[in-house]
């Protein structure tokens, strides 16, 4: 199948993704740094304290925000990489579908985890 | 007494066909010669081997015709002192453009990108008797933009240009786009921004800054691209 | 197959195009294809330091995406039960695994540092030749220092 797209008129698109990439980066940076430093300074020693920390109210919310931001960031970022390097449209279709599905599974998984399915 | 410099130069002859190859040259530089630019050395090599092809015209960094890849880095031969480059002086054509012969590349792609940004003043008002006036402050906005000589050193150093030359405009054209967006006399701001706003033409730029790193006129396409993005942001609020 | 998309294409068509990453292809500007050689040897072109850091940023970004499922898996396992927690602790204790963990943390930190540099450049901070070269070096130095600090923390 040869997919040959044709585009007419301004798409007004690109800026939104670009901006979302920056905002999500700030969220990921703030939380990621906090999480890494906290883990290094006080590595969890038993399940109780670990659960109390990670699943505490504020932390649960923060983790949710972090994963939401990171997944959006990852999707835009990977799309950007595909746009640069993958020229055949059918290849791009397969690879971006696989990536999108993978990220969607991760999103559901994280949601289940944080909403207390475990 | 004299010194010798070693050169290794990319050779391709379309009539002979075959693959491009590197050819070594040795150049004798008599002591007491004046400070030589790389272009002078190329001229001396051409006297040895007249089949060697390269473009040049002004020999002082204003025409933009002798852009080439010098020891891996794009620059203008005419304003690159021979002393500043190490032996063997390795010369290749500008990266990413079709080679016509030796160091001469086909710039059609590059000029198409330039053309795509409508590099002329668009003003719908009737032409005034004498000229369209600008305040000195408005004129200052064009500094660092109008000096571009379209040598192509920046665009052909840009990875985004290498991968998507047919859709990404490249730093040189984007700098010119900003040159007209920034012009107080231009009235096509909205249309120009519309034309730029898709994921390819402008947004394939990843702020790599290779362009600003190599520009022989010390211009800064990355900064211009940032200003375009800021203008796009501003119009959505 | 030829899709035409314009400003009033329907939402389904738009979504499909978006998915393909093709909704947005402007018409190509290229000249007719030519049978001419092109010089584009990445080992012979000398990339400025900013270019190198930019490639690193891209590589670490993709690696982080690949590591994401692993991170979620470990998080979930360690939270689900005492046995799960013990299992994750056991997995993460041999030194070769700790080296991998260290590399993952450094991947994150490298992407973080060059990402912050990117964000500053986007805010028009440090967008000139010498500052951008310096800041590119700075991200590398910061990554190296982090390697020492984290290496000491994680491996000791
Ligand atoms: C820690 C804070 C982070 C910051 C400050 C950050 C920053 C950035 C920025 C500014 C970009 C845009 C680069 C460009 O336009 O070329 C980017 C790209 C990217 N990021 Fe992040 N990021 C962070 C975390 C992450 C994480 C956790 C992941 C993975 C899950 C990730 C994956 C990516 C990918 C795949 C790209 C695309 C690479 C490219 O286009 O070259 N980032 N990042
Ligand atoms: S911006 Fe600089 S490098 Fe680019 S074409 Fe103009 S003068 Fe040449
Ligand atoms: S800053 Fe943009 S235009 Fe300049 S080299 Fe980088 S990607 Fe290309
Ligand atoms: S010969 Fe004119 S710019 Fe070098």
Question: What b/e string do you get for B192-208 counting C-beta neighbours within 10 Å, with b at 16 or more?
Answer: bbbbbbbbbbbbbbbbb
pLDDT > 80? residue B127: yes
Percent of chain C predicted with pLDDT > 90: 73
Better-predicted residue by pLDDT, B44 or C35: B44
ipTM over 0.85: yes
pLDDT for res A4: 47
Nearest to B159 by CA among A102, C45, A112: C45
Domains and CATH numbers, chain B: 3-105 (3.10.20.30), 108-236 (1.10.1060.10)
Atom of ligand 4 nearest to the CA of B79: 4
pLDDT for res B18: 85
Neighbors of chain C with 3 or more C-beta pairs under 8 Å: A, B
Question: Which residue's CA is the closest to the ligand 1 atom numbered 40?
Answer: A77
pLDDT > 90? residue C115: yes
Residue with tokens 């990339």: C47
Span from the CA of B211 to the centroid of ligand 3 (angstroms): 6
Any idea how long chain B is? 237
**Mean pLDDT (whole number) for B115-140:** 94
Question: Which residue's CA is the closest to the ligand 1 atom numbered 32?
Answer: C61
Joined together, the tokens standing for residue B28 give 């004798």
**Mean pLDDT (whole number) for C19-30:** 55
Better-predicted residue by pLDDT, C27 or A80: A80
pLDDT for res B63: 97
**Which stretch of DSSP H or E encloses residue C4?**
strand C2-5
pLDDT > 80? residue B134: yes
- Determine the distance in angstroms separating the CA of B136 from the nearest CA of chain A, rounded to an integer: 32
Cα–Cα distances in Å, from C122 out to B199, B207, B221, B224, C117?
17, 8, 13, 11, 9
B128 has a chain C CB within 8 A of its CB: no
Cis (ω within 30 of 0) for the bond into B88?
Answer: yes
**Mean pLDDT (whole number) for C103-122:** 97
Give B237's pLDDT tier (boundaries 50, 70, 90): confident
pLDDT for res C24: 47
Question: Which residue's CA is the closest to the ligand 3 atom numbered 3?
Answer: B171
pLDDT > 90? residue B212: yes
Q: What does the alpha-carbon distance between residue B158 and residue C47 come to, in Å, rounded to a whole number?
A: 10
Our answer on whether the CB atom of B155 is closer than 6 Å to any ligand 3 atom is no
Our answer on whether the CB atom of B40 is closer than 6 Å to any ligand 4 atom is no
Which of A10, A15, A18 comes nearest B195 by C-beta?
Answer: A10
Joined together, the tokens standing for residue A72 give 């959006």
Give C29's pLDDT tier (boundaries 50, 70, 90): low
pLDDT > 60? residue C96: yes
**Mean pLDDT (whole number) for C76-96:** 93
Is the pTM above the cut of 0.95?
A: no
The domains of chain C are located at 49-155
Neighbors of chain A with 3 or more C-beta pairs under 8 Å: B, C
pLDDT for res B31: 84
Mutate to test the interface with B, among C45, C124, C133 (most CBs of B within 10 A): C45
**Mean pLDDT (whole number) for B17-23:** 91
Give A3's pLDDT tier (boundaries 50, 70, 90): very low
Give B167's pLDDT tier (boundaries 50, 70, 90): confident
Q: Kindly report, residue by residue over A54-106, the tens digit of the pLDDT.
A: 998 899 999 999 999 999 999 999 999 998 999 887 888 889 889 999 999 99
Which of A11, A15, A84 comes nearest B164 by C-beta?
Answer: A84
- Which residue of chain B is at minimal alpha-carbon distance from A10? B194
**Mean pLDDT (whole number) for C116-126:** 96
- Which residue of chain A is at minimal alpha-carbon distance from C109? A33
Give B199's pLDDT tier (boundaries 50, 70, 90): confident
DSSP string, chain B: -EEEEEEEEEE--TTT-S--EEEEEEEEEETTPPPPBHHHHHHHHHHH-TT-----SSSSSSS---EEEETTEEEEGGGSBGGGSPSSEEEEPPTTSBEEETTEE--HHHHHHHHHT--S----SPPPSS-----HHHHHTTTTTTT-----TTGGG-HHHHH-TTTS-HHHHHHHHHHHHT-TT---HHHHHHHH-STTTTTT-----HHHHH-TT---HHHHHHHHHHHHHHHH-
Our answer on whether the CB atom of B212 is closer than 6 Å to any ligand 4 atom is no
pLDDT > 70? residue C69: yes
Domains and CATH numbers, chain A: 5-114 (1.20.1300.10)
pLDDT > 70? residue A8: no
**Mean pLDDT (whole number) for C69-78:** 96
**Residues of C with CB below 8 A from B207's CB?**
54, 118, 121-122
pLDDT for res B195: 87
Our answer on whether the CB atom of B65 is closer than 6 Å to any ligand 4 atom is yes
pLDDT for res A7: 46
* Ligand with an atom nearest the CA of residue B79: 4
Mean pLDDT of chain A: 87
Atom of ligand 1 nearest to the CA of C116: 5
Joined together, the tokens standing for residue C5 give 């998309």
Residue of B117, B171, B205 best suited for mutating to test ligand 2, as the one with most atoms within 8 Å of CB = B171
Q: What does the alpha-carbon distance between residue C129 and residue C116 come to, in Å, rounded to a whole number?
A: 18
**Residues of A with CB below 8 A from C27's CB?**
6-7
* DSSP strands (E only) in chain A: 4-7
Q: Which of residues 38-97 of A touch B (CB under 8 A)?
A: 80, 83-85
- Cβ atoms B86, B68 nearer than 8 A: no
- Cβ atoms B73, B95 nearer than 8 A: no
Give C16's pLDDT tier (boundaries 50, 70, 90): low
Answer whether A10 sits within 8 Å of B199, measured CB to CB.
no
pLDDT for res C31: 56
B158 has a chain A CB within 8 A of its CB: no
The 3-state DSSP class for residue A117 equals coil
Least confident of A37-41, A88-92, B87-91, C32-36: C32-36
Q: What does the alpha-carbon distance between residue B232 and residue B196 come to, in Å, rounded to a whole number?
A: 9
Any idea how long chain A is? 118
Nearest to C148 by CA among C95, C102, C100, C101: C102
- From the number of C-beta atoms within 10 Å of its C-beta (0-12, 13-18, 19+), residue B159 rates as buried
* CATH of region C49-155: 1.20.1300.10
- Determine the distance in angstroms separating the CA of B3 from the nearest CA of chain C, rounded to an integer: 27
Give phi and psi for B235, each to the nearest 5: -75, -20
Percent of chain A predicted with pLDDT > 70: 88
């Amino acid at each position: 199948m040869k997919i040959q797209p044709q585009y007419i008129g301004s798409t007004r698109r690109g800026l939104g993704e670009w901006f979302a990439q920056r905002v999500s980066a700030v969220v990921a940076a703030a939380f990621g740094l906090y999480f890494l430093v906290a883990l290094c300074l006080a590595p969890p020693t038993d399940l109780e304290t670990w659960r109390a920390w990670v699943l505490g109210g504020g932390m649960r919310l923060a983790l949710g925000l972090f994963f939401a931001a990171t997944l959006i960031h990852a999707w835009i970022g990977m799309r950007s990489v595909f746009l640069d390097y993958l020229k055949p449209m059918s290849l791009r279709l397969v690879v971006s579908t696989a990536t999108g599905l993978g990220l969607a599974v991760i999103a559901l998984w994280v949601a289940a985890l944080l909403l207390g399915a475990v | 007494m004299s010194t010798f410099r070693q050169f290794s130069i990319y050779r391709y002859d379309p009539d002979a066909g075959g693959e491009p190859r590197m050819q070594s040259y040795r150049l004798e530089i008599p002591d007491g010669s004046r400070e030589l630019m790389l272009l002078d050395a190329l001229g001396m090599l051409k006297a040895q081997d007249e089949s060697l092809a390269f473009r040049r015209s002004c020999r002082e960094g204003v025409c933009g015709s002798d852009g080439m890849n010098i020891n891996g880095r794009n620059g203008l031969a005419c304003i690159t002192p021979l002393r500043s480059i190490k032996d063997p002086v390795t010369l290749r054509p500008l990266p990413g453009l079709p080679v016509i012969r030796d160091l001469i590349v086909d710039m059609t792609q590059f000029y198409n990108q330039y053309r795509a940004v409508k590099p002329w003043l668009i003003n719908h008002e009737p032409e005034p008797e004498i000229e369209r006036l600008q305040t000195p402050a408005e004129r200052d906005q064009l500094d660092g933009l109008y000096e571009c000589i379209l040598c192509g050193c920046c665009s052909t150093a840009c990875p985004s240009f290498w991968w998507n030359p047919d859709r990404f405009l490249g730093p040189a054209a984007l700098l010119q786009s900003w040159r007209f967006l920034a012009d107080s006399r231009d009235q096509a701001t909205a249309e120009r921004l519309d034309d730029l706003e898709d994921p390819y033409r402008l947004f394939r730029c990843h702020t790599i800054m290779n362009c600003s790193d190599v520009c022989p006129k010390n211009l800064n396409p990355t900064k211009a691209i940032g200003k375009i993005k800021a203008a796009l942001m501003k119009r959505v609020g | 197959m030829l899709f035409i998309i314009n400003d009033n294409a329907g939402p389904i068509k738009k979504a499909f195009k978006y998915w393909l990453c093709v909704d947005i292809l402007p018409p190509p500007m290229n000249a007719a294809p030519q049978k001419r050689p092109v010089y584009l040897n990445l080992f012979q072109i000398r990339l400025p330091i900013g270019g190198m850091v930019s490639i690193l940023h891209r590589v670490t970004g993709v690696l982080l995406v690949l590591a994401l499922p692993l991170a979620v898996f470990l998080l979930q396992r360690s939270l689900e039960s005492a046995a799960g927690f013990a299992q994750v602790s056991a997995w993460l204790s041999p030194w070769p695994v700790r080296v991998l963990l260290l590399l993952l943390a450094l991947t994150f930190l490298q992407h973080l540092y060059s990402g912050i540099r990117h964000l500053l450049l986007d805010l028009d901070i440090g967008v000139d030749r010498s500052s951008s070269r310096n800041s590119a070096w700075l991200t590398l130095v910061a990554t190296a220092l982090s390697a020492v600090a984290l290496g000491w923390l994680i491996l000791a």
